[in-house]
């Protein structure tokens, strides 16, 4: 699955243990692909002495703050970017800026 | 360094003692050498928020440089004689009259160390890391900054292979200042986005 800027995505609600670079507060949350950052060795493998190859695509993913927190205090337009690896994303329906 | 160890031990935290023990073991096993440890310390000490301030001040006075800083921040840093080389990407995000940016690393303490050096202690605290994503406006208020009405706040959580720095807006009334005087206005906090110059 490859994503394009503007695609709606959802972060997998996986409880995978270990050196995971997907923060818990984003799991299961929907957002949009802002851009593709590049391909990098998989940190979940790299952290344990493996090569991390093949490299994994990393995306800049946007989330409306109001989609992340029920009681968000701030403008409805406020949003958050996080860098999320492709294997943590699936197609989804969420808000967009 | 090793000469100070015994003297320091009475006031060292358990974490510092653990680090000293690991360092001593790595040296003993030959994984690291003392010069390598010293080089690494020297490397971090030559990096500081002053680098970020120079990048920002140049961007304020030179539109072409601002474009380079926003599109290829490592190239911009190289142009000013810095050594930004690091396995992670370095990205600069720009504040505008309508957008204010705030940087955090919720998972650990990712920070553009190759340019700015060590992050401040508060940046690594659980409190900042958890609150910056959940209530960024309240956090900024505590640092003494409140984005004006209508300004969007964008939080950048540096979760993976990118390190972020904020390009703040040039303060009003600074038209007559020279580049080095402008750099003096740029604080470390403003490069993280918890405040503005």
Interatomic CA distance for residues B36 and B62, integer angstroms: 38
| CATH for A68 | 2.30.30.50
Same domain, yes or no, for B16 and B55? no
Same domain, yes or no, for B136 and B55? yes
Q: Please indicate, yes or no, if residue A45 is contained in any of the structural domains.
A: yes
Question: Residue B3: is its pLDDT beyond 70?
Answer: no
Q: Which of B49, B28, B170, B153 lies closest to B100 in space, CA to CA?
A: B153
Q: Please indicate, yes or no, if residue B40 is contained in any of the structural domains.
A: yes
- Domain enclosing residue B169, as ranges: 49-192
Q: Give the nearest partner residue to B137 out of A37, A73, A77, using CB atoms.
A: A73
Q: Please indicate, yes or no, if residue B150 is contained in any of the structural domains.
A: yes
B115-150: b (≥16 Cβ within 10 Å) or e: bbbebbeebeeeebbebbbbbbbebbeebebebeee
Same domain, yes or no, for B7 and B66? no
Q: Please indicate, yes or no, if residue A36 is contained in any of the structural domains.
A: yes
Strands (E) located in chain B: 89-94, 99-104, 152-157, 162-167
Chain A contact for B108 (CB, 8 A cutoff) = no
Strands (E) located in A4-52: 8-11, 30-40
Angle of helix B49-61 relative to helix B63-71, nearest 10 degrees, comes to 130
Residues A83, B159: C-beta atoms closer than 8 Å: yes
- C-alpha separations of B55 from A76, B26, B62, B116 in Å: 32, 37, 10, 11
- C-alpha separations of B68 from B59, B112, B131, B169 in Å: 9, 17, 32, 16
Residue A7: pLDDT band with limits 50, 70, 90: very high
Q: Please indicate, yes or no, if residue A16 is contained in any of the structural domains.
A: yes
Q: Give the nearest partner residue to A21 out of B138, B153, B160, using CB atoms.
A: B160
Same domain, yes or no, for B103 and B183? yes
Note whether B102 and B193 are within 8 A (CB). yes
Residue B48 among the catalytic residues: no
Q: Please indicate, yes or no, if residue B197 is contained in any of the structural domains.
A: no
What kind and span of H or E run contains A82?
Answer: strand A79-85
Number of helices (H), then strands (E), belonging to chain A: the values are: 2, 5
Q: Please indicate, yes or no, if residue A97 is contained in any of the structural domains.
A: no
Chain B contact for A69 (CB, 8 A cutoff) = yes
CA distance B185 to chain A (A): 27
CB atoms within 10 A of CB B57: 25
Is B33 exposed, middle or buried, given 0-12, 13-18 or 19+ CB atoms closer than 10 A? exposed
Q: Please indicate, yes or no, if residue A3 is contained in any of the structural domains.
A: no
Interatomic CA distance for residues A77 and A74, integer angstroms: 8
* Mutation site for B-interface testing, chosen from A70, A78, A85, A87 by largest number of B Cβ within 10 Å: A78
**Taking CA atoms, what residue in A is nearest to B110?**
A21
**Entry pTM:** 0.91
Residues A73, B107: C-beta atoms closer than 8 Å: no
Q: Give the nearest partner residue to A21 out of B137, B138, B159, using CB atoms.
A: B159
Q: How many domains does chain A have?
A: 1
Residues A78, B161: C-beta atoms closer than 8 Å: no
Chain B contact for A18 (CB, 8 A cutoff) = no
- Scanning B133-162 for CB atoms below 8 A from A yields 133-138, 150-162
Question: Which residues neighbour B187 within 8 Å (Cβ) at sequence distance 6 or greater?
Answer: B49, B53, B195, B197
Could you read off the pLDDT of B147-187 as tens digits, one per residue?
998 999 999 999 999 999 999 999 999 999 999 999 999 99
Question: Residue B1: is its pLDDT beyond 50?
Answer: no
A37 chain-B contacts, CB cut-off 8 A: 89, 160-162
Overall average pLDDT of the B52-67 stretch: 98
| CATH for B111 | 3.90.330.10
* DSSP letter (8 states) at residue A74: S
Same domain, yes or no, for B61 and B94? yes
Overall average pLDDT of the B14-23 stretch: 93
- Domain enclosing residue A18, as ranges: 8-91
Sign of the torsion angle spanned by Cα atoms B87, A49, B125, A70? positive
Same domain, yes or no, for B53 and B28? no
A3-41: b (≥16 Cβ within 10 Å) or e: beeebebbbbeeeeeeebbbbebbbebbbbbbeebeebb
Q: How many domains does chain B have?
A: 2
Q: Please indicate, yes or no, if residue A18 is contained in any of the structural domains.
A: yes
**Taking CA atoms, what residue in A is nearest to B87?**
A40
Which pLDDT belongs to residue A97?
Answer: 79
Interatomic CA distance for residues B193 and B45, integer angstroms: 23
Note whether A25 and B133 are within 8 A (CB). yes
Q: Please indicate, yes or no, if residue A19 is contained in any of the structural domains.
A: yes
Residue B109 among the catalytic residues: yes
Same domain, yes or no, for B25 and B53? no
Residue B2 among the catalytic residues: no
For chain B, what percent of residues have pLDDT higher than 70? 95
Q: Please indicate, yes or no, if residue A2 is contained in any of the structural domains.
A: no
Residue B7: pLDDT band with limits 50, 70, 90: low
Same domain, yes or no, for B19 and B72? no
Same domain, yes or no, for B27 and B53? no
Question: Residue B2: is its pLDDT beyond 90?
Answer: no
């Amino acid at each position: 699955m490859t994503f394009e800027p503007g695609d709606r995505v959802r972060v997998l609600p996986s409880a995978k243990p270990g050196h995971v670079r997907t923060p818990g507060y984003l799991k299961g949350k929907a957002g949009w692909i802002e851009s593709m950052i590049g391909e990098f060795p998989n940190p979940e493998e790299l952290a344990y002495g493996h090569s991390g190859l093949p490299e994994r695509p990393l995306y800049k993913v946007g989330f409306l703050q109001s989609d992340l927190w029920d009681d968000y205090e701030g403008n409805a337009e406020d949003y958050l970017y996080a860098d999320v690896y492709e294997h943590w994303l699936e197609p989804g329906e969420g808000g967009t800026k | 360094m090793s000469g100070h160890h015994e003297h320091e031990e009475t006031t060292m935290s358990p974490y510092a003692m653990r680090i000293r023990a690991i360092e001593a073991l790595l040296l003993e096993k030959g994984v690291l050498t003392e010069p390598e440890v010293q080089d690494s310390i020297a490397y971090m000490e030559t990096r500081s928020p002053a680098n970020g301030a120079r990048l920002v001040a140049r961007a304020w006075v030179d539109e072409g440089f601002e474009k380079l800083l926003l599109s290829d921040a490592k190239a911009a840093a190289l142009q000013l004689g810095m050594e930004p080389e690091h396995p992670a990407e370095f990205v600069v995000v720009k504040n505008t009259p309508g957008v204010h940016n705030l940087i955090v690393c919720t998972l650990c303490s990712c920070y553009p160390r190759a340019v700015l050096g060590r992050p401040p202690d508060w940046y690594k605290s659980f409190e900042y890391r958890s609150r910056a994503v959940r209530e960024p406006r309240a956090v900024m208020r505590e640092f003494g900054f409140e984005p004006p009405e209508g300004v969007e706040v964008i939080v950048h959580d540096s979760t993976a292979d990118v390190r972020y720095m904020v390009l703040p807006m040039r303060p009003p009334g600074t038209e007559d200042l020279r580049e080095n005087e402008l750099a003096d206005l740029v604080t470390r906090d403003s490069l993280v986005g918890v405040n503005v110059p």
